[in-house]
A = this chain, B = another copy of it.
Amino acid sequence: MVYRRTHQVVKRLAARRSAILAAAREAAAEGGMSAVQIAPVAVRAKVAAGTVYRYFPSKADLISELIAEVSRDELAAVRRAADAAPGPSSALAAAVSTVAVHVLSQRKLAWGILAEPVDVDVTASRIASRREIVGEIASRIDAAVRAGHLPAQDTQLAATALLGALHEALVGPLATDTLDDPAKLRDTVQAVTLLALRAVGVMDARARGLVVQAVLPVKSLVGA
């Protein structure tokens, strides 16, 4: 007797898996990574605690996949924004401000994905997540350098530094709350974008123009 999964079952299994991941994401967005605990996530996803383990070998795997998922979304958004820009410099500006906006609009999630203490080891996943974004930004810097808009430099290092600057300034413990006031939010995004562009060597007059150009298209500044 050979048991075969019916189409309907396959669909239900996939739905459950997504539900669990979604529950984890919601929990993280609301309460940070510390809120991503098996029992509560199971309740939210409307399954029993044990069921979670039929879909994810361990909590570490669940969180790793959550990180990967969020990371994928972010990378896609950054690529989209950069590709839509007219030239290499504004592509870089767009990439940076997109990261800034994303991070700002989903603070708890961003902090959880990036740096919040977790009781299981998700280092590998976090590294991968960073590597993707850093790689993307580095390649945009590279393009600008090749176009002669920026001085030659260690683009990997620069991209890493930029990311660190954005994170610390926007979601680090010293970041002031700017979500309440959209104008303040826009100012902050502009300020850090300007810092970032200058850091890699964009000259000032030009930088200001690029920043405005890059930030303005981000229509709803709090859109995911």
Contacts and interface: CB of A to CB of B under 8 A. Distances in A.
A154 interface: yes
Contacts of A116: 117
A153 interface: yes
A183 interface: no
B191 A157 contact: yes
A131 interface: yes
Interface of A: 115-119, 123, 126-127, 130-131, 134, 151, 153-154, 157-158, 160-169, 172-175, 188, 191-192, 195-196, 198-201, 204
Report whether over half of chain A's contact residues are helix, strand or loop; otherwise say mixed: helix
Nearest to A171: B164
Contacts of A166: 161, 164
How many chain copies does the complex carry?
A: 2
Nearest to A188: B157
Nearest to A131: B174
Contact of A195 (B130, B131, B161, B192): B161
Contacts of A163: 168
In this complex, which of A165, A175, A191, A199 has the most chain B Cβ atoms within 10 angstroms of its Cβ?
Answer: A165
Contact of A130 (B154, B162, B167, B172): B172
A134 B165 CA distance: 13
A174 B127 contact: yes
A158 B204 contact: no
In this complex, which of A115, A117, A127, A130 has the most chain B Cβ atoms within 10 angstroms of its Cβ?
Answer: A117
B117 A158 contact: no
Contacts of A174: 127, 130-131, 134, 160
A73 to B, nearest CB: 20
A191 B134 contact: no
Given A116-B117, A164-B166, 15 more contacts: A126-B173, A130-B173, A130-B174, A157-B195, A160-B168, A160-B169, A160-B174, A161-B168, A162-B165, A164-B167, A164-B169, A164-B172, A165-B165, A165-B199, A201-B204
A161 B117 contact: no
